[in-house]
Structure 1
Amino acid sequence: MLKIEKFSRTRGRKMPGDPPGVPDSDGTKIAASQAISAMCESSSCKDCSTPRVGIPQIVQLLRSDNEEVREAAAGPGKPDNQQPCKCQRYRAAAEADAIDPLINILSSKRDGAIANAATVLTNMAIQEPLRAIIQNHEVMHALLGPLRSTNTVVQSTAALTVAATACDVEARIELRNCGGLEPLVELLHSKNDEVRRHASWAVMVCAGDELMAVELCRLGALDILEEINRSLSRKNKFSEAAYNKLLNNNLSLKYSQTGYLSSSNIISDGFYDYGRINPGTKLLPLKELCLQELNDQRAILLVNNKSDTSPPPSMEDKSSEVGYGRSISSSSSLRRASKEKAKLLDLDLPQKKNQSRHQDGTLSLAEASPKRKEQVIDVEGLRPQKGKGKKEEEKVKEEEEVLSVPKFTEGSPEKEWYPPPDPEFCVYVLEVTKSVLPITNIKEQIEVLAKYVADKMGGKIPKEKLADFSWELHISELKFQLKSNVVPIGYIKKGIFYHRALLFKALADKIGVGCSLVRGEYSRGWNEVKLVNEARKGVIGNLPPPEEYIVDLMFHPGSLLKLRSKEADLYRFL
């Protein structure tokens, strides 16, 4: 062992036994590195202090100019073999500043060196403290080259390193920003089983949040995984898990493709129901759908609780409406306005000028009126303001001109975009939180929420009068009023089965009431809930499984129809 530790002291002398053509003592260094690695890999290594032997010297060799020396110093190692002694070995390597040279080796010209370095980084990243250090060294950018390699061993180890290091949102964002998602998705096409398995694993990890899942779907990962899973010889557990992870973190696509959201699929702000699409069909992002020209196709239903102050536009003044693609208001600006108002009221400070103008540049009704020149009342309910001077009037004219200009113009940089606000839905969430959430009985919660949803969507509709319920005309008017195919769910006052089912699911998810959302044929949609038989509560022994019910939101709002009963089938089907 002492002889092995002295290999770095040769100082360039040619040693006996050096391979021919290897300059100086590089052959000895390679042999010593391999000896230490083999000793650490040995199953007979029971002393946890032994793997630390020679680590500083090994780390020193990672910085060698000789590619073969760096390859030998970096490996070999197995990523799935994490004995305690090896954990100490990697911690000791990190303490000796091995991470930086290991990441530098990822740009080596030798495939073996890259694979060895990637394997060591994977083993290190399994330990959370070391993973944080690795992430701070821009490992995602360094992995870009190995992901694009033509060597299957390099591809496999690089994908595995992505899976080990992309466990945090910041790391995934770094991978996306440096262009690493594209080559990762391409590896799913590989004919090599190990590459395909590790790439699926990495995609599953990267799909850990909604934004990344949407981006991966846009790059075609979902379609490739679906194709893989249809093949008995190519599919694997990771490809199936990655497919499900992508769908569960992209609920808009999942509902459009499958027509089903389970109770664990929680609808978040920005969810939209495009309608049924076939597998393999691309679902456009919400932004593109909002910017589309108005058409006669089915309205796209949006759930958004991120705005809270702007009232919905009036149905009477249709000429003044601005389409979502041209609107410059945003939920963040509305929240800022609300916070500033609260600060002024709390501190009782003198009112600032121009308070009657919204933060997004739009004018309050009082300021826009030509009759209010001497005194303007702020729309937020603040103190009266005195008339404005010429400079203020010029600013008003400039802002009015800005409102008439489309937000996205050809040749101009694209500004920040926000989903259309839905102040009515925000009110619904507040009211349901106050009235339904405090109810302790789950069955009663469901019944009260169902009646609330039905009341907001046009009330009880007798079966014999269902054909006379003019919901289609109402939706068409909303689309024309908003100049958009996207209609926020809170705007709808005459809703049919699938409108009410979506509103019920969205509100239930906000207050923690478990329910599923199911799409049917011919504008049908319904919610399914699971309830334990009240009569069996408190009984000692095994309880029967919960019973499933459909929530009636149309004919007898609040009624629970036992699944697969005659009443439930009449509700689900024509």
Structure 2
Amino acid sequence: MGKKAKKEAETPSKDEFDPLSIESKRADTVVLMLNSPEEVVLAKACGAICKFAEKGEENRITLMGLGAVEPLSRLISHEDQSVRRNAFMALGNMASNGDVKKLLKKLDVIPSIIARLSPEEDVVIHEFATQCLASLALDFTCKVQIFDSDALGPLIHLLSSNDPDVVKNSVECIYNLVQDVPSRVALCELNGISLLLGQLRSEFPVIQELVLRTLERITADKEARVAFREEQGLEKLLEFLTTKEYSDLHVEALQLVSNCLEDAEAMQHFQETGGLQTLLKFVMTPGLPEVQSNAVKAIAKVAQSYENRKILHEQDVEKSLMTLLAVENNRMRSATCQAVAAMSKNLTSKDTFRLLDGIKPIVQLLRSESAEVRESAAQALSSLTSGNQLNAYAVSEAEGEEALVQQIQEGSAREVAFAASVLTNMAAQEALRRNILSHGAMQTLVGPLQSKDTHLLVCVIQAVAALACDAESRTEFMTAGGLPHLLKLLHSYNTEVCRNACWAVSVCANDESTASELCKFGALEVLQDINSSTNRRNRFSGIALQKLLDNNLSAKYSLTGLLSSTDVITDGFYDPGKAQSGQRVLDLVNLSKQVINQRRPVVLVNGKPQDLRLDSPSESRATSAQSNKSGSRASSKAKHRDEDESKPQQDKEVERQGLLPWDSALCSLIAEATKSILPLQEEREQHKALAILVSGAMGGPVSAERQHELLWELHLSELKHEEQSNVILIGKIEKGTYCHRALLFKALSDKIGLCSSLVRGDYNRAWNEVLITDGTPKSPGCYPQPCKYVVDLMHSPGELMRSNSPAAVKYQCI
């Protein structure tokens, strides 16, 4: 055999490319490599991009501009694990950028990310996949898509991961998701609470904090609180609170406690396991103001429940709270005042705080430099004085009125609302109300009435209603310009604002002067509109309208056509004629300024021997005072008019100056009625005699067939031209028909103390109805029921016709 020859090397295939190591310092070159078909190149490119993105926000923006996001979003689903891992790392670092998140949402990458949360996947992929989802879950649309893609189950499963970064990112993503109710419900159904509680003992504080914040959000729902208790959550939470190692997280833990203890059952269980004593211990532990304030906030939240307040009261929590008012820490004082406000919903606690001398220091906090403290102090006082007279007096003894009025003048919306509530509570006591008014409360309340804050408006309106209990306070409010602002609130479509505005108007309308001003600003029309609406009508709108009418009888008669026996006509009453519902009833000043027209005259009653203002009763008093100062000059004018009624020019001059002339003819009729009618013993005889007197003053009896011969319309027209005014004194009418005679009868009846009503019919018809008791008592103290009669003033003056009888109906109708 010959020598064996050396084997020659195989010639390389001409299709193969020799391996090439590439190094690049340009990001755009590396981004281009993301489109390579080779796994090794893709993995290295993704790794390089990850390192570049880690260096800062500018680099992430640069990578996005170079188009790196789209290929990375594809590579996270690559079949090669190293490529997937590096692509996830790069994408996870970039996902915190807002523009990157928008692009990822557009690329619909969420399903691809969720698909990589399976247990078989690499832990690094889990870390950066959850990091991506946590960033995307901050966007509402992405949050919905993550939930709809059933991501909660895999995320909850990853809470058991051995990698802390995976756990941290998973909890953070869950926290972002449970801001919405469906996610909270789903988490409970997937047993997420148990796994979250398990992470409370994590060695990483950031995970513990995220868990506490997530549990706090979840337990906002009652069903979740039940699930929390079933998983021994209260016990684990109590253990957490008693562990000094976790003291830096006790603030967050206490916030979770306040949620869990909203249910009475949880509170009872917490007390039985010593949790309540632990909570109170935090309250009384000095040196940790943030922990203390959060413990107090927990008490405030827990005390929203009636059952919980009873338990807290049994633990003497009021005493603990009072000691905290002296702490020089604004957050603590604010939290304490809020807890006092919550506990004061318990009637016994209200008295306890007063007996512990707790009201005075709270009043002093109204002058704090901290707006938060002032607001909380006012809130506490509002609760303390609600339905408690002794506490209201205690606030006054601490000189709280001035501070509360100042707070309304200078405070924020919530400060003003609470301060106004305190004043409302205090105003129930007459003495306190006068103290409040002495500090200018009515003027101060006008400003807040222009606010847009509905809660503030309701509180301020209630304060106005509570304080406007006498003519003096109403005048102050009116002088300060409060009525237009109050009436503007009647137009509010907020039910509470409108309802309380109606209440305030009903209070302000309790005297004639304020009622007259309210009518000038259109209150009657607005209230009529409200009462005609089924949606806007409320329990106070009808009362307000009735009060206005009762104190403005001219408008009442014009709008309703009826004055009852309790509606007493006084000087200054006028009949402008029948007005339609919703129509403005002009005041006498405006009516007197009108040029003479063809309409029926306005009939005025003024039997008082002195001048009356046209403007309003309050102005009348002011004019009276002015006349007293001017002395004999005004008296001589009145006397001159009394002596010579044939001088209409002087009357016109008086009217031009805003004064009413004296109706001497009416005064004579009043004197005659007083002299001749009052001595009569029988009611029937009194009404009959008065009817004859009225008929004689206005043209005497007129038969039904010859009414046309009375010529009353011509007579009134002559009077209007003689006086150069549409306003005619009733005493000057010598030819009057039904409506004039009925008005005169009513006016004279009211002057001499007889009872009669005035009813307006159609076509100038009007009549008076009187109640007369017929017969004698059947037995001592047993009188027959009075009967209603219509008084004839036209045809057979003095005849009394039984109401609804044919004769009465014929008298009332044409």
One of 18, 23, 29 as aligned partner of 2:333? 29
CA contact (8 A) 1:337 1:359 kept: no
- The 1:572/1:503 distance shift into structure 2, 3 A limit, reads same
1:351 counterpart residue number: none
- The 1:267/1:221 distance shift into structure 2, 3 A limit, reads same
2:772 counterpart residue number: 531
Q: 1:148: Cα distance to partner?
A: 1.1
- The 1:292/1:131 distance shift into structure 2, 3 A limit, reads same
Equivalences for 1:386-425 in 2 at 5 Å? 417-425=658-666
1:247 counterpart residue number: 549
One of 728, 738, 748 as aligned partner of 1:487? 728
TM, length-normalised to structure 1:
0.77
- The 1:309/1:213 distance shift into structure 2, 3 A limit, reads closer
Q: Which amino acid aligns with 2:706?
A: K
Q: 1:35: Cα distance to partner?
A: 3.6
Q: 1:39: Cα distance to partner?
A: 4.0
2:790 counterpart residue number: 550
Q: Distance in 1 between matches of 2:459 and 2:710?
A: 61
Q: Distance in 1 between matches of 2:568 and 2:738?
A: 20
CA contact (8 A) 2:611 2:662 kept: no
- The 1:133/1:543 distance shift into structure 2, 3 A limit, reads same
Q: Deviations over 1:348-396 (max 9, x none)?
A: xxxxxxxxx875679969xxxxxxxxxxxx979xxxxxxxxxxxxxxxx
Which structure shows the bigger proportion of residues in helix conformation? 2
One of 249, 252, 256 as aligned partner of 2:558? 256
CA contact (8 A) 1:261 1:516 kept: yes
- The 1:542/1:436 distance shift into structure 2, 3 A limit, reads closer
Q: Does 1:63 align with 2:367?
A: yes
Q: 1:515: Cα distance to partner?
A: 1.1
Q: Distance in 2 between matches of 1:522 and 1:63?
A: 66
Structure 2: gaps of 5 or more residues: 1-279, 295-326, 613-621
What is the DSSP-based 3-state SS (H/G/I as helix, E as strand, rest coil) of the residue aligned with 2:367? Answer: coil
1:571 counterpart residue number: 811
2:762 counterpart residue number: 521
* 461-470 or 448-457, which deviates more: 461-470
CA contact (8 A) 2:576 2:601 kept: yes
What is the DSSP-based 3-state SS (H/G/I as helix, E as strand, rest coil) of the residue aligned with 1:107? Answer: helix
Higher relative contact order (CA 8 A, sep 6+): 1
Q: Does 1:428 align with 2:428?
A: no
One of 495, 501, 514 as aligned partner of 2:742? 501
Q: Distance in 2 between matches of 1:72 and 1:130?
A: 22
Q: 1:187: Cα distance to partner?
A: 1.3
One of 784, 797, 800 as aligned partner of 1:560? 800
1:122 counterpart residue number: 424
Structure 1: gaps of 5 or more residues: 311-329, 341-356, 366-377, 381-401, 410-414
Equivalences for 1:9-408 in 2 at 5 Å? 15-17=289-291, 25-45=329-349, 50=354, 53-76=357-380, 83=387, 86-307=388-609, 359=635
Q: Which amino acid aligns with 2:811?
A: Y
What is the DSSP-based 3-state SS (H/G/I as helix, E as strand, rest coil) of the residue aligned with 2:535? Answer: coil
Q: 1:463: Cα distance to partner?
A: 2.3
CA contact (8 A) 2:720 2:726 kept: yes
Equivalences for 1:465-480 in 2 at 5 Å? 465-480=706-721
What is the DSSP-based 3-state SS (H/G/I as helix, E as strand, rest coil) of the residue aligned with 1:458? Answer: coil
CA contact (8 A) 1:59 1:73 kept: yes
Q: 1:571: Cα distance to partner?
A: 1.0
Q: Which amino acid aligns with 1:184?
A: L
Q: Does 1:446 align with 2:687?
A: yes
- For this pair of structures, how many residues does the alignment match? 487
- The 1:545/1:52 distance shift into structure 2, 3 A limit, reads farther
Q: Distance in 2 between matches of 1:284 and 1:332?
A: 24
Q: 1:462: Cα distance to partner?
A: 2.1
Q: Distance in 2 between matches of 1:93 and 1:77?
A: 8
- The 1:169/1:506 distance shift into structure 2, 3 A limit, reads same
- The 1:362/1:454 distance shift into structure 2, 3 A limit, reads closer
Q: 1:172: Cα distance to partner?
A: 0.9
CA contact (8 A) 1:497 1:524 kept: yes
CA contact (8 A) 2:638 2:662 kept: no
What is the DSSP-based 3-state SS (H/G/I as helix, E as strand, rest coil) of the residue aligned with 2:759? Answer: strand
Q: Which amino acid aligns with 2:507?
A: V
- The 1:443/1:472 distance shift into structure 2, 3 A limit, reads same
Q: 1:46: Cα distance to partner?
A: 8.0
Q: 1:408: Cα distance to partner?
A: 9.6
What is the DSSP-based 3-state SS (H/G/I as helix, E as strand, rest coil) of the residue aligned with 2:426? Answer: helix
Q: Distance in 1 between matches of 2:417 and 2:454?
A: 10
CA contact (8 A) 1:36 1:54 kept: no
- The 1:190/1:339 distance shift into structure 2, 3 A limit, reads closer
CA contact (8 A) 1:333 1:359 kept: no
- The 1:529/1:338 distance shift into structure 2, 3 A limit, reads farther
Q: Distance in 2 between matches of 1:227 and 1:101?
A: 40
What is the DSSP-based 3-state SS (H/G/I as helix, E as strand, rest coil) of the residue aligned with 1:534? Answer: coil
1:464 counterpart residue number: 705
- The 1:81/1:531 distance shift into structure 2, 3 A limit, reads farther
Q: Which amino acid aligns with 1:91?
A: Y
Q: Which has the larger radius of gyration?
A: 2
Q: Distance in 2 between matches of 1:58 and 1:304?
A: 56
* 147-156 or 23-32, which deviates more: 23-32
1:324 counterpart residue number: none
Q: Deviations over 1:32-87 (max 9, x none)?
A: 3234434443233385784562222111111112111111111246689854xx21
CA contact (8 A) 1:308 1:334 kept: no
Q: Distance in 2 between matches of 1:182 and 1:541?
A: 52
What is the DSSP-based 3-state SS (H/G/I as helix, E as strand, rest coil) of the residue aligned with 2:789? Answer: strand
Q: Distance in 1 between matches of 2:556 and 2:780?
A: 40
CA contact (8 A) 1:425 1:490 kept: yes
Q: Which amino acid aligns with 1:58?
A: I
2:145 counterpart residue number: none
Q: Distance in 1 between matches of 2:507 and 2:513?
A: 13
Q: Distance in 1 between matches of 2:774 and 2:635?
A: 53
- The 1:559/1:186 distance shift into structure 2, 3 A limit, reads same
Q: Which amino acid aligns with 2:360?
A: P
Q: 1:403: Cα distance to partner?
A: 7.4
Q: 1:572: Cα distance to partner?
A: 1.0
Q: 1:306: Cα distance to partner?
A: 2.2
CA contact (8 A) 1:552 1:560 kept: yes
Q: Deviations over 1:123-147 (max 9, x none)?
A: 0001111011111111111111221
Q: 1:486: Cα distance to partner?
A: 0.7
What is the DSSP-based 3-state SS (H/G/I as helix, E as strand, rest coil) of the residue aligned with 2:659? Answer: coil
CA contact (8 A) 2:654 2:660 kept: no
CA contact (8 A) 1:334 1:360 kept: no
What is the DSSP-based 3-state SS (H/G/I as helix, E as strand, rest coil) of the residue aligned with 1:561? Answer: strand
Q: Deviations over 1:390-446 (max 9, x none)?
A: xxxxxxxxxxxx97996799xxxxx6x222321111122222222222333222211
CA contact (8 A) 1:229 1:236 kept: yes
CA contact (8 A) 1:304 1:488 kept: yes
* 106-115 or 57-66, which deviates more: 106-115
Q: Distance in 1 between matches of 2:606 and 2:426?
A: 41
